[in-house]
Amino acid sequence: MPDQPHAAHPQLFTWEFAADPYPAYAWLREHSPVHRTTLPSGVEAWLVTRYADARQALADSRLSKNPAHHSEQAHRTGRVGIPGERQADLMTHLLNIDPPDHTRLRRLVSKAFTPRRVAEFEPRVQQLTDRLIDSFAERGEADLIHEFAFPLPIYAICDLLGVPAEDQDDLRDWAGMMIRHTGGKRGGVGRAVKQIRGYLADLIHRKRADLGDDLISGLIRAGDHGEHLTENEAAAMAFILLFAGFETTINLVGNGLFALLRNPVQRTLLQDSLARGESGLLETGIEELLRYDGPVELATWRFATRPLTIGGVDIPMGDPVLVVLAAADRDPARFSDENTLDLARADNPHLGFGHGIHYCIGAPLARLEGQRAIGTLLTRLPDLQLAADPAELRWRGGLIMRGLRELPVSFTPR
Ligand code: HEM
């Protein structure tokens, strides 16, 4: 065993590290479960890797989401927070604020994500999924990230927000610029965010004159009915829904399919159950894929508003705390056979969607998209095979999310 995780993995959170961070996380859980490290950006932060500590930290109100509590104020230089959000008018979104503002803003959008509203969305998600598969099914080969996992969520969120069909390809291109640059070069992200910001401001303006049944119209109506929603808050909300619902879902579909292609026994069990018209294994299976190789590696930034103790370690006031969901979800103290993919896993309270008041508001939509995408693909292209050496595949690093850049596959043309 190395003394330091760095001995096994020269640097945490680099692109090479992203290919398989789990051995380093196992080391941290065992030897330094609340670990102070210097991130590639130069910011010092605490990593929390055990399940029990992670769950507790996610629900601890002494940990603020507001970057103003950071002793270094690194958010001013864009070194903490979500890539590109530094434009001040996008900062006031759910993942950067605490109660009571958080409670007020979250209530406004929660209506859009009730199980009933999301169920109404199912035919549209199915149609999008089928249309995307149609576009490559006759070729016998595809890159499932670029041609499938990437476009599906962006079109779904555009529909949800009320982005007109003729504008959706622009959003798709800008969102693509955002994730292509994730993991280092921030210039491209900044440009893409600027364009998205400008577009959303214009869209909010246009919707005001012609309200519809979509989420942005709902936000405008709420603001007009005295809910104290500023125009910046509405734009920041639209931005965070786009950001939080986009790359995450790409990674659920991408990482999920990759895991299935590498675990043929589990994959066959799933395909057999789908062929029998059952949905149970697909439902527990999506939860297991979220646990086993989830889209969000680290929960977003939290800052100690006073000195506190996590897992017996003292954290000074003003220090950033990063909860490593990917490490917590493989903690053997909580999950038996933690490194085994078991689609039927029954006891699975994973943290893939977070925990506490910032628990993922889009979870019902994400589950729907994951189930439709993976279920339909394995049903329509049953002999899908990986068309590359798994060790050669490139991953998108970056701090918060982790997913494949490409997933080449082959199959019998249909
Ligand atoms: C929050 C994961 C899809 C919207 C979160 C958090 C996680 C997460 C871990 C909590 C972060 C923290 O506490 O620091 C995921 C995963 C997804 C997914 C794994 C896909 C598989 C979506 C979708 C939407 C969405 C589709 C919306 C369209 C949000 C929002 C928040 C959030 C708005 C902030 C909630 C708050 O602060 O109150 N998500 N998410 N997510 N997610 Fe998701």
pLDDT at position 108:
87
User: Residue 369: pLDDT band by 50, 70, 90 thresholds?
Assistant: very high
How many Å apart are CA 286 and CA 345, to the nearest integer? 10
The CATH code belonging to domain 5-410 is: 1.10.630.10
Q: Look-up: residue for tokens 């299976």?
A: 285
Tens of pLDDT, residues 210-263: 999 888 998 888 776 777 677 788 888 998 998 899 999 999 999 999 999 999
Q: Which residue has the tokens 């734009």?
A: 235
Residue 10 has pLDDT above 70, yes or no: no
The model's confidence at residue 179, banded by pLDDT at 50, 70 and 90, is confident
If you average pLDDT over residues 37-50, what whole number do you get? 92
CA distance 115 to 365: 9
- Name the residue ranges covered by the structural domains of the chain: 5-410
* Whether residue 410 has pLDDT greater than 80: yes
Tens digits of per-residue pLDDT, 97-148? 999 999 989 998 887 788 888 888 999 999 999 999 999 999 999 999 999 9
In one letter, which amino acid is 123? Answer: P
The model's pLDDT over 303-360, given as tens digits with 9 standing for 90+, comes to 999 999 999 999 999 999 999 999 999 999 999 999 999 999 999 999 999 999 999 9
How far, in Å, is the centroid of ligand 1 from the Cα of 326? 15
Residue from 353, 368, 372, 401 to probe ligand 1 pocket by mutation (most atoms less than 8 Å from CB): 353
State residue 192's pLDDT score.
Answer: 84
Higher pLDDT, 252 or 39: 252
Q: What is the pLDDT of residue 90?
A: 75
**CB-count exposure of residue 119 (10 Å: 0-12, 13-18, 19+):** exposed
What whole-number percentage of the chain has pLDDT above 90?
A: 67
* pLDDT at residue number 111: 79
Residues 6+ apart with CB under 8 A from 56: 310
Q: Which residues line ligand 1 (CB under 6 A)?
A: 58, 94-95, 106, 157, 240-241, 244-245, 248-249, 252, 290, 294-296, 299-300, 352-354, 358, 360-362, 365-366
What is the ipTM metric for this complex?
0.99
Residue 298 structure tokens: 């680290």
CA distance 344 to 338: 14
- pLDDT, position 341: 98
What average pLDDT does this structure show over 364-389?
Answer: 97
**319 CA from centroid of ligand 1 (Å):** 23
Q: Model pTM? A: 0.94
The letter for the amino acid at 329 is: D
